[in-house]
Amino acid sequence: MKKSTIILVIPTALFSAILLYLVIWNAVISFTNWSLFNPKMSFVGLETYFSVVKTFQFSNSMLHSLELSASLVTIGNILGILFAGLLYFLSSNKARSVFLSIILYPLAISMAVNALIWLWLFNINIGIDWLLVRIGLPQLPWLSSTSTMFPSLILVTIWAYTGIATLFYLAGFMNIDKSVIEAARLDSASSFKILYKILLPNSFNSFIVSTALLFLFSFRIFSLPYILSGGPTNIFLQTAVVYMYYLFTVEFFSQATAVATIITVIASVVIIPYALIIMRRWIRK
């Protein structure tokens, strides 16, 4: 093995070892009864998991995380394809760069800042509702009604992460042989037909990477629901990660690590097959 390869592998291996140690340590703690009421931990097996899974907060927060992930993966991919298609067919590279920068802007700032921006936009006096009233439309109770809180979170999440899908689909489109596109143009094919018949069928790798990342980001989301809800106790915006944080803050450490382990297992079950598929496709090429 070359010296340069060893130099590159060592930091990755070290980081992976530390990460694996923390994951294993977290799993070990989840089999104990460590909490504010039990400062001296003892092994209780799966009892901690049974006690956590039975609670309403766990099922409610896990359902929110899964609904949020499904919404972002579905709508994010659709919007990513549409935005990437529009950017691809722009004749000006400068215009394409400008619009792509605008779409990617939410990713350039922290999710906490994005959440604060949308708190202002959801303000009934100075935000979107102020504009709706001025043009004669009714106000919407974005974060002030239990029926619109979670859809509002989905809206913000889609706005924040759709740029990821757009970027990968656009990269996939740009790698397709231009001669194929030019031949389709000569046959009087419309832009939509080129997108549907040529670009999308050759962008499976983009779909795999985009779907995996959208799921990963949405399933482990914390800052957006935490700030939009004003804390970890709002059950209408509580996701699995927010619930895990709440358990930790009230010093139910074993329950918090149990939820963390469940989140890790679910994310791994979804992400690892995607990673293996994309690696196999790259190796074949």
Q: pLDDT tens digit string along 144-198?
A: 899 999 999 999 999 999 999 999 999 999 988 888 888 888 888 888 888 888 8
Domain containing 169 equals 55-284
> Is residue 116 included in any domain, yes or no?
yes
Q: pLDDT tens digit string along 12-31?
A: 788 889 988 998 999 999 99
> Is residue 198 included in any domain, yes or no?
yes
> What does the mean pLDDT of the chain come to?
90
Give mean pLDDT, residues 94-117.
Answer: 92
Which pLDDT belongs to residue 8? 72
> Is residue 44 included in any domain, yes or no?
no
Q: pLDDT tens digit string along 208-243?
A: 889 989 999 999 999 999 999 988 999 999 999 999
Which pLDDT belongs to residue 281? 63
Task: Look up the CATH number of the domain holding residue 253.
Answer: 1.10.3720.10
> Is residue 31 included in any domain, yes or no?
no
Against a cut of 0.85, is the pTM above it? yes
Domain count, the chain: 1
Question: Could you give the CA distance from residue 137 to residue 129 in angstroms, rounded to a whole number?
Answer: 9
> Is residue 36 included in any domain, yes or no?
no
Which pLDDT belongs to residue 283? 54
Q: Does the structure show a pLDDT above 90 at 68?
A: yes
> Is residue 45 included in any domain, yes or no?
no
Label residue 268 by pLDDT band (50, 70, 90).
Answer: confident
Residues making up the chain, counted from first to last: 285
> Is residue 1 included in any domain, yes or no?
no
51-62: buried (b, 16+ CB within 10 Å) or exposed (e) per residue?
bbeeeebbebbb
Q: Does the structure show a pLDDT above 90 at 248?
A: yes
Which pLDDT belongs to residue 263? 94
> Is residue 11 included in any domain, yes or no?
no
